[in-house]
Structures are given as structure tokens and as C-alpha cells.
Amino acid sequence: MSAGREIRLRIQLAEGHSCEATLNENAVELRTLYAALAMPTRANELIQLPLDGGKSACSFRAAQLVSIVSEPPVVVEASTVEAADHLTPRQEAAVRSRRARYLVIDDFLCPLEHQDMLALATASEKNFEAGTVDGDQPEHRQNLVIPTFGDSAHARLIQNRVLVWYPLLAKALGVDVVALSMVEAQLTAARSRQFYKLHSDVGPDCPRELSCIYYMHRQPRGFVGGELRLYDCVEEEGQSRPADTFEVVDPVSNRLVVFPSGEFHEAVPVRCPSGDFADSRFAITIWLHRAATPDPEACFGWGHFRCGVVAPQLARADGAARTAGRTR
């Protein structure tokens, strides 16, 4: 599907009320809006339109809709609208949207741990190199990374802290606690005009479960921008895509942001007036990987979680599971 044009709308409602919104021409909300205008049978439907880049919304009943002025014009075929109005309940359920799922935890590390992490980042300029994505697409990602950061003592500290929190994080996000196989860690720096465009952290051969971003910067903050946008999600026919609406998280120093790795997100461009590397927006990204099968022999952090599933290695010949366990 193409990116589509941005459509500016001026919506007239009953009793002299009105609102203005901008939607992509492929947005489900745009089709819903015109279907509600054309079909009286949708009078009781609740319509919610994102405003101000998703920071607010306008909600009203379809019966209140009087007229729509669009720029550029939107041409709607009657047959298309009529077909949309006569969807079966199963078809209607096939398209649904949901808000982005995420948690924000401030003061995640103690002050000395935080200062140590930041000192490492600011002193390691020579170790950073250009970040990449599959296919080497510089228009999609421009920032700096230390590929070997995951082998460091600093990485192990924050990895273990996240692993200890993992069951609580999963519960708070409403996702299953699963057996974990590994933890990735990456230290990044974003300088002026650097960014990471809209994406998710999962792929066919990438079983990431949770993504955790830990922010740090020196005080006073030497950059502007660099916010994290977490997009609402539209699910249709078993496929997910980002909605036009999103939440914005400020990259506050010593803040951890956690979200399921399948959530769509982006890092907006940074502007660093001083040009000093130490004024960059620094971040440590932690990815928790789902294990293909529970491993009771795992000695890596919390990777031994069985999550209620009895692993074959723990089952006796009669099928009863051992109750004794061990920790490492």
C-alpha cells in the first residue's frame, strides 16, 4: 500500500460545533467518516478522530455529522460506501485499532549507576560507528552505535536489572511471561539531524519479545528533539500496520521505556546546536528474546522460566514433574 496523501478535513457537526483534522487517505478513520455521512444506519456509531498529531482526539456520534470539507477533494464511490455499511459482524471485527502499549519508568538506575553509564558513553566517541538496518538504508536510520557494547560489564548491569523486572513488566503490559533465550544490548548516540524512522523490532528470524530503551544525557540537556513516537496499531486480516496517531515519550535522562517489540515506533530527528559529541542523545536499547522451547538448564538470567510448561528434562518416566528446583 502506498503512503497516500494527507487529507485536511473541516468537519461540521450539529448545533454549530466543528473540528479540523488531518488524516492519511488510506486511514480507516477516513473511510469510517464518509460511510457514517452516507449511511443513516450508522447513526449510533461513535467516531473518534486524532487531532494535533495524536495528542488529542475529537469524539462524536455519527448522527451529529452534518458535512465534511476536504482538501484535496476526496471522491467516494457510493458502491464502496454501501459495501462498507453492510459488512457482516465478522468482517467488522476483522478491522480493529488499539492504542500503543508501553511503560515509562523514571530513575531506573541509582544515581551512581546512571552517572557511570553516561560517563562510559561520553568517553567512547572513537568506538561508535554508523548504525545500520537490513539492506543498508541510510534514509531509514542515521545514528551511531557500539556493536560490542553487549559484552561489557555496563551492559550486564542493565540487562540483569531489566531481567529482574521482566515478570512485572510483562504483567503491566498485559503480555504473557515467556521463557527467554537471550538478551541483546546496544549503546547508541544520536547527533544533529540523526533519526530512526518508523519501524518495529521484530522480523521472521528475530523473536524479540520486549524492547527497553534507557535514555541518558548530560545536564543541562544539549539537544532538542529525539523523542520516541509509539504508534497506535490497526489490525486487519491478520496483519498489523501503524495508525496515524501516536504517543510521544520525552527522552528524559535515567528514564526507561518498555514496550512489546512488535509495536511500531520511531525516533524523531535530534538537533544539537553545540555540535559537541557529549551533547548527543544517548540510549541503551535492551531486547529480550523469546525462547523457542523452555530450557530448565539455562543459567542465563531469567532464561530458565518455564511459565507453567513442564519441560521434558524435568519429567520423570511416569510423567510426573519434579518439584525440586535450583537457581544460579
288 contact partners, CB below 8 Å, separation of at least 6: 162, 163, 166, 180, 183, 208, 209, 210, 212
**For residues 55 and 12, which has the higher predicted lDDT (pLDDT)?**
12
Average pLDDT over residues 49-72: 81
Residue 261 DSSP code = T
pLDDT, position 29: 80
d(CA 150, CA 285): 10
**For residues 236 and 277, which has the higher predicted lDDT (pLDDT)?**
277
- Look up the CATH architecture of domain 6-86: Roll (2.30)
Give the predicted TM-score (pTM) of the model.
Answer: 0.65
103-290: CATH topology is Jelly Rolls (2.60.120)
Note the residue count of the chain: 328
Per-domain residue ranges of the chain: 6-86, 103-290
Q: Give residue 16's region: left, alpha or beta (phi > 0; psi -120 to 50).
A: left
Q: Taking Cα atoms as reference points, which of 289, 12, 42, 328 lies closest to residue 178? A: 289
pLDDT tens-digit readout, 204-228: 788 899 999 999 999 999 999 999 9
- Does the pLDDT value for residue 82 go beyond 80? no
Average pLDDT over residues 164-191: 90
The DSSP H or E segment spanning 64 is none
